[in-house]
Amino acid sequence: MIKSVNFKNRANTLAANLHFPEEFDESKKYPALVGIHPAGGVKEQTIGLYAEKLSKFGYIVLVYDSSYQGASEGEPRLLEDPAVRVEDARCAADFLTTLSYVDTERMGVYGICAGGGYTLSVAQTERRFKAVATVSGTPMGEAVRSQFGVEVPVSELIKSLEMVAYQRTAQANGAELMYVPFVPEKFEDINEQTPDMLREGYDYYRTPRGQHPNSKGRFLFTSIDKMTTFSVFDYLGDFLTQPLLLIAGSKADTRIFSEQAYNFAKCEKELFIIEGATHIALYDVPEYVEQAVNKMVEFFKVL
């Protein structure tokens, strides 16, 4: 059973789905999970697929469209603001505590792709989340500053920030908003140099495989100034004390980020590598999703 709900992050109302266990009984208490979607994604895509599967194992699972995106409120549209994304997850925890059938001492959080990065970030200070899991986790700040583990020169990052400053000035004086695609917008945009993550991202987000009308697959260019200095890893070893599960594909371009998170974390932790899987394959390919979900179910027994 899925129920459409909403909750607030300050002035913004966020659209969300609650996934319920089979034979749900409102008089009972259930462990609950918050799921955080990838950048450019929405609750009906991969995060919802995982929610549907996890709920069958006895969890209440809340997934939502982040502020400025999907069916949620917020202007300007398609802003990718890491600080707000983290606060969205806190507000999701707030909402769960208002539900009589949620055991508020048994709440966890999971995220996919950028949602995994935000999961690692929020769990460092949101102590209501007692267990933390990521799938193809990709911290946005670290991803901006390093292309799949290869550092981008600071001089190049500064050039990007100067372009953002120019664009903000132009917009303040009436220019149209500028958007950047997360994945190629057309098949013709793909070439031999296109990383597997982006190549497969096109197939997931731009074709019937995973596309959704609320998922635009692009972000506001002026988001870059907010992403560039956002860091997940700086205090990970100090403040993330909850049990941690990191799931990555053996062939994923982004596997490096899960490995880095594992090395930074000092809590009880596990890095689970799914052989043969790429970053996007973990979104919806049944043989890989089932392995990931089964591992998460085993892990979330700590709740």
Instruction: Write out the chain's pLDDT in tens, 303 residues.
Output: 999 999 999 999 999 999 999 999 999 999 999 999 999 999 999 999 999 999 999 999 999 999 999 999 999 999 999 999 999 999 999 999 999 999 999 999 999 999 999 999 999 999 999 999 999 999 999 999 998 878 999 999 999 999 999 999 999 999 999 999 988 888 888 887 788 888 899 999 999 999 999 999 899 999 999 999 999 999 999 999 999 999 999 999 999 999 999 999 999 999 999 999 999 999 999 999 999 999 999 999 999
Q: Are 31 and 61 in contact (CB under 8 A)?
A: no
What's the count of helices (H) and strands (E) in the chain, helices before strands? 11, 12
Question: Is the pTM here over 0.85, yes or no?
Answer: yes
Q: Are 71 and 42 in contact (CB under 8 A)?
A: yes
- Read off the CATH number of the domain in which 91 is found: 3.40.50.1820
pLDDT at 29: 96
For 94, the 3-state DSSP assignment is: helix
Per the structure, the complete domain to which residue 108 belongs is given by 2-302
pLDDT at 186: 82
What is the number of structural domains in the chain?
1
CA gap 30, 12 in Å, rounded:
28
pLDDT at 280: 96
pLDDT at 199: 87
pLDDT at 196: 83
CA gap 37, 50 in Å, rounded:
10
Residue that has been written with the tokens 């502020």 in this structure: 67
Answer left, alpha or beta for residue 191, where phi above 0 means left and psi between -120 and 50 means alpha.
beta
pLDDT at 230: 96
Please report which residue ranges of 173-285 form alpha helices under DSSP H: 196-205, 224-228, 236-239, 255-264, 281-284
For 65, the 3-state DSSP assignment is: coil
Crossing angle of helices 46-55/286-299, nearest 10°? 50
Residue 16 has which token pair? 């969300």
